[in-house]
């Protein structure tokens, strides 16, 4: 063997030994590979993007075994489209945020590992989380995803307009009848129109739950997959009739589908009452400062209706099952970080979404925030007074995004005088049922 051949052979041995030892720095192979990467897709835009990025940065700085990369993917619908396009490829995320009405699709897609798998393996104490929030994402006793951004609808009202109309600003209306009377009084005062509801399918879903009524059959799609829409039931007709009557009496405006238009009218003092998400509270109270005092109340219900509650809105985090066990476990570590009381306090204060962890309310920062924005106590009380059942857990169906659009169309037709509430909701129920049944045929 020549000297050159001998040198080459020795170099090969050195390289093999070096690789086995993890490199020339003497580190083990696991360490030199670096932290486990977790790709997190989300739809938190605007100021909320910065909040998500900060939480991810804090997690990454808190340890050296996992590195999360957060990627904003646009609206919820954009995110769902991109996720569908990535399925079956290596381009998808480890962890994805999905709006609540995408839950049935996520389960049926068979592309997720239920969160319950990690909860059971880790003996994670699920009782530390709000049961009315985890209830939405629980089917057949199994938590499929981890709640992330959670909200409810509440009533916002202008206390100054209440006083001008001879109404008690400390007593928001609790029933459909009281709401209609308050809207009439504000309108008759000549100061503003009584109210406005954005034409938003989420509100109709909430009015059903607040009457203890289910939105689809088969226990709201929870005892077994839904096969039929029942949006044309008594609860729906009663709600839409009440809504239409106020628009017809001109004690309520019809400003269309955009909740932003409803908020603008409210902040301009043009309407006395609106419905909006609890996540809008901080912005509304802050923007109204110097103009008028904002009051908050529970979502109204018919005085003769069955007692119900509200459904959580927002989105949750889903674990994709096409990633390695190590990657999924790393994503689970990130989820546990996000659900800690400290992080939930930070999330709540900076976004207005509910903390999902009970002990977050013990954090001084949350106590201070409640003092600054006492209106949020309404949201907390409404959530805690909601009794978990199939109505308040919310409907589950694979075509929920389409169903919501169809219901909004029915509301528009009714408010514009094209159809009666019953006619519009009968047509909507028929169309949604057909879509549900077509979807169900695609599920294997």
Question: What whole-number distance in Å separates Cα of residue 250 and Cα of residue 268?
Answer: 18
pLDDT the model gives residue 121: 96
Average pLDDT, stretch 84-103? 92
List helix spans (H) across 319-375: 325-338, 341-351, 364-372
Q: In sequence order, which ranges of 196-254 are alpha helices (DSSP H)? A: 201-210, 217-221, 234-248
Taking 50 as the threshold, does the pLDDT of residue 262 lie above it? yes
CB 298 within 8 A of CB 80: no
Instruction: Look at residue 286 and tell me whether its pLDDT is greater than 70.
Output: yes
Provide the token pair at 286.
Answer: 């802050």
- What span, in angstroms and rounded, lies between the C-alpha atoms of 274 and 199? 11
What is the pLDDT at residue 33?
75
State the pLDDT confidence band at 14, using cuts at 50, 70 and 90: very low
By three-state DSSP, how is residue 233 classified? coil
Q: Of 25-29, 168-172, 221-225, which gets the smallest average pLDDT?
A: 25-29
Please count the other Cβ atoms lying within 10 Å of the Cβ belonging to residue 202: 20
Nearest Cα neighbor of 389 from 310, 330, 273 is 310
Dist. CA 228–CA 433, nearest whole Å: 5
DSSP-assigned states of every residue in 68-121: EEEEE-SSHHHHHHHHHHHTTSS-S-SEEEEEGGGHHHHHHTT-EE-HHHHHHH
Residue 180's pLDDT is: 98
Which pLDDT band, with edges at 50, 70 and 90, does 29 fall under?
A: very low
CA–CA separation, 295 and 312 (whole Å): 21
Q: Residue 22 has what pLDDT?
A: 37
CA distance 14 to 171: 81
Mean pLDDT across the chain: 91
DSSP string, 268-287: TTSEEEEEEEGGGHHHHHHH
pLDDT at 288: 96
User: Residue 216 — φ and ψ, nearest 5°?
Assistant: -135, 165
Answer whether residue 27 shows pLDDT above 70: no
Task: State the pLDDT at residue 20.
Answer: 36
d(CA 357, CA 162): 35
State the average pLDDT over residues 30-34. 59
pLDDT the model gives residue 444: 80
Residue 373 is encoded by which pair of tokens?
């924005």
pLDDT of residue 11: 38
Average pLDDT over residues 391-401: 94
Has residue 402 got a pLDDT over 90? yes
pLDDT-derived band at 256, boundaries 50, 70, 90: confident
pLDDT for 18 beyond 50 = no
Backbone angles phi and psi of 330, in degrees to 5: -65, -40
pLDDT at 5: 41
Average pLDDT score over residue span 198-216: 96
Task: Tell me the whole-structure pTM to 2 decimals.
Answer: 0.88
Q: What distance in Å separates the CA atoms of residue 397 and residue 106, rounded to the nearest whole number?
A: 11
Q: What is the pLDDT of residue 306?
A: 79
The C-alpha atoms of residue 163 and residue 241 are separated, in whole angstroms, by 28
The mean pLDDT of 393-411, rounded to a whole number, is 96
Q: Give the per-residue pLDDT at 126.
A: 95
Give 312-362 pLDDT, tens digit per residue: 989 999 999 999 999 999 999 999 999 999 999 999 999 989 999 999 999
Tell me what pLDDT residue 28 has: 32
């Amino acid at each position: 063997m020549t000297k050159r051949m001998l040198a080459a052979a020795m170099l090969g041995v050195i390289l093999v030994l070096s690789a086995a030892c993890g490199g020339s720095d003497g580190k083990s192979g696991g360490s030199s590979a670096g932290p486990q990467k977790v790709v997190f897709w989300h739809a938190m835009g605007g100021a909320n993007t910065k909040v998500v990025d900060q939480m991810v940065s804090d997690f990454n700085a808190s340890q050296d075994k996992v590195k999360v990369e957060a990627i904003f993917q646009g609206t919820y619908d954009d995110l769902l489209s991109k996720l569908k396009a990535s399925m079956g490829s290596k381009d998808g995320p480890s962890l994805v945020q999905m709006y609540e009405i995408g839950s049935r699709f996520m389960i049926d897609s068979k592309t997720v590992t239920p969160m319950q798998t990690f909860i059971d393996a880790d003996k994670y104490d699920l009782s530390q989380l709000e049961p009315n929030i985890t209830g939405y994402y629980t089917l057949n006793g199994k938590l499929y995803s981890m709640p992330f951004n959670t909200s409810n609808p509440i009533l916002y009202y202008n206390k100054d307009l209440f006083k001008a109309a001879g109404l008690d600003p400390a007593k928001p209306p609790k029933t459909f009848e009281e709401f209609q009377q308050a809207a009439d009084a504000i309108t008759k005062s000549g100061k503003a129109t009584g109210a406005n509801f954005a034409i938003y399918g989420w509100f109709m879903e909430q009015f059903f739950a607040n009457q203890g009524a289910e939105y689809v059959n088969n226990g709201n799609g929870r005892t077994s997959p839904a096969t039929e829409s029942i949006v044309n039931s008594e609860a729906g007709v009663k709600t839409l009739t009440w809504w239409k009557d106020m628009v017809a009496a001109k004690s309520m405006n019809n400003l269309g589908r955009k909740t932003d238009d409803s908020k603008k009218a409210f902040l301009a003092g043009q309407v006395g009452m609106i419905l909006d998400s609890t996540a809008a509270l901080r912005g509304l109270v802050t923007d109204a400062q110097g103009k008028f005092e904002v009051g908050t109340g529970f979502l109204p219900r018919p005085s003769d209706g069955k007692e119900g509650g509200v459904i959580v809105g927002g989105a949750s985090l889903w674990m994709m099952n096409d990633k390695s066990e190590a990657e999924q476990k790393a994503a689970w570590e990130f989820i546990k970080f996000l659900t800690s009381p400290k992080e939930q306090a930070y999330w709540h204060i900076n976004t207005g979404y509910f903390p999902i962890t009970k002990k977050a309310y013990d954090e001084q920062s949350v106590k201070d925030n409640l003092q600054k924005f006492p209106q949020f106590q309404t949201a907390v009380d409404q959530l805690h007074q909601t009794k978990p059942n199939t109505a308040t857990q919310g409907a589950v169906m694979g075509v929920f995004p389409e169903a919501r659009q169809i219901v909004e169309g029915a509301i528009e037709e009714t408010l514009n005088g094209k159809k009666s509430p019953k006619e519009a909701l009968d047509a909507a129920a028929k169309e949604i049922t057909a879509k549900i049944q077509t979807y169900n045929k695609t599920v294997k």
